[in-house]
Amino acid sequence: MKKLVLASLVAAATASGAFAQTSTTSPTPAPKADADKNAPLPGANSFTEGQAKSRLEANGYSQIGTLAKDDNGVWKGSATHGGAQVTVSVDYRGNITRH
């Protein structure tokens, strides 16, 4: 009987640990500082032009012109930032670069 109770307690303790775990899976890639310093990164870009523009606006860009996706999957175009007209890129990870 003691063995049965002990086995039940061990099983319960082991099972409860599994319930305490949370998923860390993200639908988008996690930022990698070493890779992102080489932005814009080539890759299959799932952003639409509108989403790329919204990302630029959320980061202080205005007067965003038409964006075009290049052969590397990077959205490129022009915008205004800090009063200056700049050329911008938005890669598949959402990195924004100015040229």
pLDDT tens digit string along 17-41? 444 443 333 334 444 555 566 666 6
Sign for the CA dihedral angle at 78, 84, 89, 90 comes to negative
Q: What is the pTM of this model?
A: 0.60
Residue at 1 is within a domain:
no
Q: What's the pLDDT at 88? A: 96
- Residue 77 included in any domain: yes
Is 56 part of any domain? yes
Q: Is the Cβ–Cβ distance between 80 and 86 less than 8 Å? A: yes
Give a yes or no: residue 29 inside a domain.
no
> Is 8 part of a structural domain of the chain?
no
Query: How many domains does the chain divide into?
Result: 1
50 falls within a domain = yes
**For 63-95, what is each residue's pLDDT tens digit?**
999 999 999 999 999 999 999 999 999 998 888
Residue 60, domain member (yes or no): yes
The values of phi and psi at residue 3, to 5°, are -65, -40
* CATH number assigned to the domain comprising residue 45: 3.10.450
Residue 57's pLDDT is what?
96
Look at 1 and 49; give whichever has higher pLDDT. 49
Asked if pLDDT for residue 8 goes beyond 60, the answer is no
- Domain range spanning residue 62? 41-98
